Structure 1
Amino acid sequence: MFKSTLMAGITLAAGLAIATTAQAETRITYKSAKAGSSYYQMGVELAEAMKSGSSGDIIVTVEESQGSVQNVMETRARGGDYVFTTPPALVGAAKGGKGPFEGKESPKFANIRALFPIPSLTMHFVVSKASGVEDFAGLEGKTLLLGKGSFGAREGEKYLGLFGLEGKVKLAEVELSNAVAALKNGQIDGFVTAGSWPAPNVVEAAASADVTVLSLSDDQVAETKRTRTVIPAGTYSEQASEIVTTSLPVVAYTTTAMDDEAAYQLTKTFWDTKASLSETARWWAGVDKDLMGTIQGKIHPGALRYYQEAGFPLTDAQQ
C-alpha cells in the first residue's frame, strides 16, 4: 500500500515537472524574408537573442519567406506560435481588402496585432565622389542604377519624379547585385538601395570606393510622405556628417491566437536584449521608442502590458 502510494506520488511529481517545463518553454515560428537577405539575418540574430535572453525558455525557428504579402496572407492558416514581419501599411491593406489583398479578404486579418518594431527599410542614394554629385539636383544627366522590382527601385523612381528628375537621369540596365562593381569601374554614377542601416552594399561601396550618400532636405522628406530618418555620422566609412533620408517602418506582428503571456515575454525579452543585439549588429541600433509611433492599429494585449509597465508612449489607437 505504501509502495503504491509512493510510486503514485513520484509519477504525479514527474508529470507536474514535465508540465511545468512545457509551460515554461515558448516555441515561435518567425517568418520574415528570403534566406540570404539582411532581414533573414535579423531573424537569426533575434532568435539567438530570444534564446539567451530568456535562458532558453523562448525558442524561435526562423522560416524563409517570399515577402511581406505572403507573411500577412499566412495568418489565415497559422496558429498562436506565428510571428511575422511586414510594413504596417500592408496590415491596413489586408484588413481593408485593398492592394494585393483585394479579392483575398479574410476575417482573420482583423486579428493581427503588433509586438515590436524592427529595423526600417531605409533609402540610400549612393553616388561616387568622382561624379561630383552633392545633392539631388546634381543627378541630372548622370547614370543611376535603381534595380528592378524591389521597394528601393520603386521608391527611387518615385523620388526622381517628385524632385523634377524624371527623364533627366539615365537609368542603368544593371542588376543591383552588381552595383558596387559598376560604381567602381565608372559604369554608373550612383545607385539606389533600401535596407536597414548600415546597409551591407553601402558598407561595401564606402569601404572600396569614394562615395557620398545624399541627404534629403526637410521639404523633400515631406514630399515623399515617408518617415524621416537620420543615419548617424560615422555609420559608413568617411561619413563625416549625418544623413537625412526616409524609411518604411517594419514591425513584428502576431495574432490574437497567441496567448497574452507569450506575447508579454516575447516583447519584454526583445527590449531587454536590444542593447546586446545592437552590439552584435548595428542595424538594431536604429530601433528605439520613437519607432513605436510607426505602429498602426492595435498592439497585442500581452505586449501592451509590457509597454504600459515600461512607460512606453502609446496612442489611443494602439491600445
Structure 2
Amino acid sequence: MTRWLAGAVAAGAVLATPAFAETRVTYKSAKAGTSYYQMGVQISEAMKAGSDGAIIVTIEEGQGSVQNVMEVRARGADYVFTTPPSLVGLAQGGKAMFEGKGDPAYDEIRALFPIPSLTMHFVMSNESEVSSFADLEGKTILLGKGSFGATEGAKYLDLFGLTDKVNIADAELSNAVAALKNGQIDGFVTAGSWPAPNVVEAAASTGVTILSLDDEQVAQTNRTRLVIPAGTYAGQEADIVTTSLPVVAYTTTKMDEDTAYQMTRTFWEAKAKMAESAPWWDGVDAAMLSTITGKMHPGAIRYYQEAGMPLNDGNM
C-alpha cells in the first residue's frame, strides 16, 4: 500500500508539471491577403522559432488601424496589434475619429517594435514621360478607393496644386498594373511596405518611373521623409525620396514584462532571417524607433537598453 501511494504521488507530480510554460498571443494587423497580414504570419513563425515554442502567436485579421486601437477596450494581456503612432495619440487625446469615444484603456497602450512603414509610391509608366509632379498635368491617375494611399494621394495632388489638372481613373487599385500595361492610365498611387508587390510587378513588366518629392513637398505633407534606395525596383537607378506613415506593433500594460521583453528581443533577432524571404524587413532599423512618439512597454524598454538602441524621452 505504501509503495502504491508513493507511486501515485510521483505520477501525480509528473502530470502536474508542464513541459514548458506556453504563452499565447493574438496578433491583429490587417485584412487577409495584404502585405501587413503576411508580415504577421512571419512574426508568428519567428516568435515560435525564437522562443522554442514558448510564445505562440495567433494571427487575427484586422479591419483597419482605428478598429485595432478601439479593441483595446475589450482585450486582455494577450493582445498585440498594429497601428500608426499618430492614431494612438488621437485615441489618448479623444480627438478626430476618437472624439466622444475616449476610454481609460487607451492610456495603457504601449509600443513594442516598429514594422515596415506605409510608404507612398507615385508610379508612372515610362510611356507617360512623367518625371516630376509638374509633369502630371493632363495625365490619368488611378488612386483607388477607401485606402490610406488613396486619401493621401488625393491630399498630395491638392497640396501641389494638381487636383483640377489630372484625370482620376474610376477603378480599384487591384486593377492598377493591368490598366497601366494596357495604357488605360498613365500612373497609379499606392501606399504600403517597400518593395511594394504591385510596384515590383509594374516595374518588371511595363517599366515605370517612381516620382520623388523635393524637401519643400515633403514638408508640405507633414509626413515622415523616407528614402527608397536605388535598385529597389527594376530600372530604378537613383534613390527615391518619398513620405511614409510609421506603423508599430503595440500591446498594453496588461501584458507582463517578460513576455513583452521576449517578443521584442525575438523580433529584432529574427528580422534578418525574415528579410531573406520578404525584403520589406530591410527597411526596418533602429533609426525607426525615433518615429515611436508614445510610451513603450517596460519589457521592450529593457531590451532596447540592453541592446544599446536609442529611445526618445517620451518612450519611458
TM-score with structure 2 length normalisation?
Answer: 0.97
Q: Percent identity?
A: 68
Match of 2:9 in 1: 8
Alignment of 1:138 with 2:135, yes or no, is: yes
3-state secondary structure, aligned to 1:108: helix
Match of 1:72 in 2: 69
Give me the whole-angstrom Cα distance separating, in 2, the residues matched to 1:290 and 1:268: 16
Tell me whether 3-12 or 90-99 shows the greater mean CA deviation.
3-12
Deviation, structure 1 residue 170: 1.1
3-state secondary structure, aligned to 1:216: coil
Give me the whole-angstrom Cα distance separating, in 2, the residues matched to 1:35 and 1:9: 48
Match of 2:296 in 1: 299
Give me the whole-angstrom Cα distance separating, in 2, the residues matched to 1:262 and 1:47: 14
Deviation, structure 1 residue 185: 1.2
Match of 2:197 in 1: 200
For 1:135, give the aligned amino acid.
S
Contact 2:143 2:190 (8 Å CA) reproduced: yes
Match of 1:165 in 2: 162
Cα RMSD after superposing both structures: 1.2
Match of 1:211 among 197, 208, 213: 208
Match of 1:97 in 2: 94
Gaps of 5+ in 1: none
The 5-angstrom pairing of residues 139-288 of structure 1 reads: 139-288=136-285
Gaps of 5+ in 2: none
3-state secondary structure, aligned to 1:317: helix
3-state secondary structure, aligned to 1:278: helix
Deviation, structure 1 residue 47: 0.7
Deviation, structure 1 residue 6: 4.4
Match of 1:113 in 2: 110
Deviation, structure 1 residue 2: 4.6
For 2:73, give the aligned amino acid.
R
Match of 1:27 in 2: 24
Deviation, structure 1 residue 263: 0.4
Give me the whole-angstrom Cα distance separating, in 2, the residues matched to 1:60 and 1:85: 14
Give me the whole-angstrom Cα distance separating, in 2, the residues matched to 1:61 and 1:170: 43
Tell me whether 118-127 or 235-244 shows the greater mean CA deviation.
235-244
Contact 2:293 2:312 (8 Å CA) reproduced: no
Deviation, structure 1 residue 3: 4.1
Match of 2:83 in 1: 86
Give me the whole-angstrom Cα distance separating, in 2, the residues matched to 1:242 and 1:50: 33
Give me the whole-angstrom Cα distance separating, in 1, the residues matched to 2:88 and 2:105: 11
Residue deviations 1:64-116 (CA, integer Å, cap 9, x gap): 11101111111111100000000011111111111111121111111100000
3-state secondary structure, aligned to 1:152: helix
